[in-house]
């Protein structure tokens, strides 16, 4: 079954966090190079630091604290319907250690503080991503788009034929965002933690075919 943004982290991986720092996540080294190149024509600088020069990298256990801070800051936008933080150090650690799962992250230039991150997991011929997070001070400058493309390329290189995402039904701005990136709605599912909800909500499932290139 798919592990979505709001569901539990996947099974534990069979290689160590140390191995991750040497970029053993299948295909990521290749895909990140490709993404950095492919994204440059479509990103914009908005008069500040150009995101074109910001290349995603694979997170390591050293990034756990920064990932928790970034994700929880970005997801404050969901406070109007769900109680509590989006993630915890334990959750991020579990995701980092999941089989064929990991985070792609983008460091802000100069400060090296995380500006964005996305969790990606491969499950056979399907890939999915979750926890797409851009620091509020970096939003609307192209990083969200860049991270989705990085996740897509990572999954494509790993042999996936489709990429899945789910969004909470109350986030009406998100289907158009993902739609502009080629994702189409293909179903719904119950919200996995109804006890946390302050309003009725469900998940909207979206997918994008990844043709062989
Ligand atoms: C959603 C999110 C990742 C987008 O990141 P971002 O860096 O601001 O997005 P981009 O700058 O790449 O924007 C890409 C496009 O989506 C649009 N967009 C981004 N956020 C939007 C929003 N909240 N409402 C409407 N449109 C939005 C942008 O205007 C842009 O469109 P354009 O290319 O036609 O100008 C970011 O707002 C975020 O971290 N949100 C909180 C966490 C979250 O909701 N994650 C997704 C859960 S599934």
Q: Domains, the chain, ranges and CATH? A: 17-163 (3.40.630.30)
How many angstroms is it from 173 CA to the middle of ligand 1?
Answer: 8
Q: What is the pLDDT of residues 28-55, one digit of tens each?
A: 433 443 343 233 323 444 445 677 778 9
**Ligand 1 neighbourhood includes 169 CB (under 6 angstroms):** no
Side-chain half-sphere CA neighbours of 37 within 13 A: 7
Give residue 142 CA to ligand 1 midpoint distance, Å. 8
Atom 33 in ligand 1: residue holding the nearest Cα: 142
pLDDT at 48: 58
What average pLDDT does the segment 161-169 reach? 98
d(CA 88, ligand 1 centre) in Å: 23
Q: What is the pTM of this model?
A: 0.84
Q: What is the pLDDT of residues 53-90, one digit of tens each?
A: 789 999 999 999 999 999 999 999 999 999 999 999 99
């Amino acid at each position: 079954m798919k592990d979505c943004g709001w569901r539990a982290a996947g099974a534990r991986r069979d290689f160590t966090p140390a191995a991750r720092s040497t970029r053993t996540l299948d295909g990521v080294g290749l895909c990140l190079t490709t993404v950095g190149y492919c994204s440059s024509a479509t990103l914009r600088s908005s008069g500040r630091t150009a995101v074109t020069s910001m290349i995603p990298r694979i997170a390591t256990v050293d990034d756990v604290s920064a990932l928790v801070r970034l994700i929880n800051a970005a997801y404050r936008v969901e406070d109007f319907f769900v109680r509590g933080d989006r993630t915890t150090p334990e959750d991020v650690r579990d995701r980092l250690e999941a089989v064929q799962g990991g985070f792609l992250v983008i460091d802000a230039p100069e400060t090296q503080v995380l500006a964005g991150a996305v969790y990606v997991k491969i499950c056979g011929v399907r890939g999915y991503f979750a926890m797409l997070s851009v620091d509020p001070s970096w939003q609307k400058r192209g990083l969200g788009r860049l991270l989705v493309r990085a996740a897509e390329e990572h999954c494509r290189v790993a042999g996936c034929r489709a990429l899945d995402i789910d969004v909470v039904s109350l986030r009406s701005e998100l289907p158009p965002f993902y739609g502009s990136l080629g994702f189409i709605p293909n179903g719904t599912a119950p919200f996995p933690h109804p006890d946390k909800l302050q309003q009725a909500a469900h998940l909207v499932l979206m997918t994008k075919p990844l043709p062989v290139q």
